[in-house]
Amino acid sequence: MAVGADYEVLRNVIVRGSLSYTDSLFTGTERRDQDFGARLGVQYLMNRYLTANLAYTRTTRSSTSTGAGFADNTVFLGLRGHL
C-alpha cells in the first residue's frame, strides 16, 4: 500500500511526499517481513527542458528472520533533461 502527494509551492517548485507499507508472509515458512518507506523530495523546474531533483528516502524492514531487518537512508540529487 502506498500514498503520495505533490504540492506546487511556486510555479517552478514542487514538493513531493509519499509513504508506503508492505506486509509479506512467506509460504512454507514462519517468516514475516514488514516494510515501511517514507520519501520527501523537491523538484525545481529550471526551464522547459531542465529539471533538478533532490529527494530523501527512509526505508525500514522488521522481520521474524534473523538478520533480514534493516534501516536504509538514501539521498538523491539529479538533473534531468527533457526533449
Half-sphere exposure of 45 (CA within 13 A, CB side): 11
Tens of pLDDT along the chain (83 residues)?
A: 999 999 999 999 999 999 999 999 888 888 999 999 999 999 999 999 999 999 999 999 999 988 889 999 999 999 999 88
CA-based end-to-end distance of the chain: 33
Q: Say what the pLDDT of residue 14 is.
A: 97
Q: Say what the pLDDT of residue 30 is.
A: 87
Closest CA to 56 of 80, 76, 36, 78: 76
